[in-house]
Amino acid sequence: MYDLAPLARFGGLVATGLRDVTHDPEALDSTGFWAVAADFEGRLTCARFADVRPAAVPAPEPGQWRGPGPGDWTSSLDRAAYTAGVRRIREHIAAGEVYQANLCRVLSAPLPGPDSATADVDALTALLARDNPAPYAGTIRLPAHGVEISTASPELYLRRTGRVVESGPIKGTGRTAADLLDKDHAENVMIVDLVRNDLGRVCATGSVTVPALCAVEPHPGLVHLVSAVRGRLAGRAGWPELLAATFPPGSVTGAPKSSALKIIEELETAPRGPYCGGIGWVDADRGTAALAVGIRTFWIDRATAARPVLRFGAGAGITWGSDPEAEWEETELKASRLLAIASGAYEASGRTA
C-alpha cells in the first residue's frame, strides 16, 4: 500500500506533522511554516506543518528510489515540433507581438510498480542533492493532495525578508561561459526589465533596484546568466498581492508577459504543472520566505494513468536571434544530466552524463 507521510524539505530544514492545507494565499500572511507549490497554470497549494527542524538531506540508500528506464522518456514536443515552435515565435516577434517567449516541453516516463514506496520524491531529492546540488533544492510530499515534487532549482523566484523582496531571474545557458552569446545577455536584460515592472506593481515607488546584472553563475554541467531585482513592499501589500503581481515568473514566460502567455498556450501541448511555477517555503512567523522558479523539477503524476508517471520540464527562451536547432539542444542540455540521475543511468555511467 502506498503510504508516505506528508513532508517538506528546503534549505537545511525538514517539516513534518501536517496541520492543514489551503489554496488561499492569504494564509501565508498568517502564522506557521508553510510549504508552497504553485503550478504554472495557477493552482496554489499551501501546506502548514507543525514540526520544523534542521536536517541535512540524507545520503541516498541503494534501492530507495526506483526511477524509470533511461529509454522510457517521451516528450510533449518532439524535435520537429519544438523547432517549428521556435520558428513560429520568431514570426510573432517579427510581427511586433512579443520580444521574447519561453517554449517548453514536458518529458514523461512511467515509474515501475503501481504504488511502490520506492516512488518517493524525497528519495529522488537525496539523489539530486548528491549528483546535482542546487541552491533551491527541496521536496514537497503531499500524496493525498496530488503534490509530489522534487526540485533541484537553481533559480530564485521570490525571497522575502520582512518587507524586502528579491527575485533572481536566470536567462542565458551554456556548457561554459564561452558559450554565452550576445543574445543571452540581451534576453537577460529584457527579463530583468519585466521583473522590475512586476515588482514595481507592489513595491514602494523608487525602491526597486538591480543589485546584480548578468552575473555568470556555475551549476553542475552548465553555467547561467543570473541577475537580481530587489524592492520593498508598499503599504499593506502581502502575499496575495505579491503573487498576483509576479506570477508566473517572468523568466519562464517572456516579454511582454501577457503576449508570451498567449503564445505559450498556442504552441505547448501539455500543461507545465509545477514546472515553471513557484516552489518553496514561507515562515509566516518570522516574515521570511524563499520560493524557487520550478525549473530542474520532477513531479509524480498519479491521476492521469494506470501507473504513476514521473514528469520533468525543459525549455528555452526564444528571441529574434534564436536558432531553432540550438534552442532544442539547450533543452537537451538542461534535461540530460537530471534525467540520467532519475533513471539511474548517471550513477551507472560513473556520473559522467
Residues labelled as active-site residues: 155, 171
* Residue linked to cell 507521510: 5
Cell of 136: 533551491
Alpha-carbon distance of 260 to 252, in angstroms, equals 10
Measured distance between the N- and C-terminal CA atoms of the chain, rounded to whole angstroms: 34
User: Helices in 247-304 by DSSP H: which ranges?
Assistant: 257-267
Closest Cα to residue 154, out of 248, 222, 209, 208? 222
Cell of 160: 522575502
* Residue linked to cell 515552435: 85
Alpha-carbon distance of 22 to 248, in angstroms, equals 19
How many CB atoms lie under 10 A from the CB of residue 176? 10
User: Helices in 46-96 by DSSP H: which ranges?
Assistant: 79-94
Q: Which residues pair with 254 in a beta bridge?
A: 101
CB-count burial class (<10 Å; 0-12, 13-18, 19+) for 28: buried
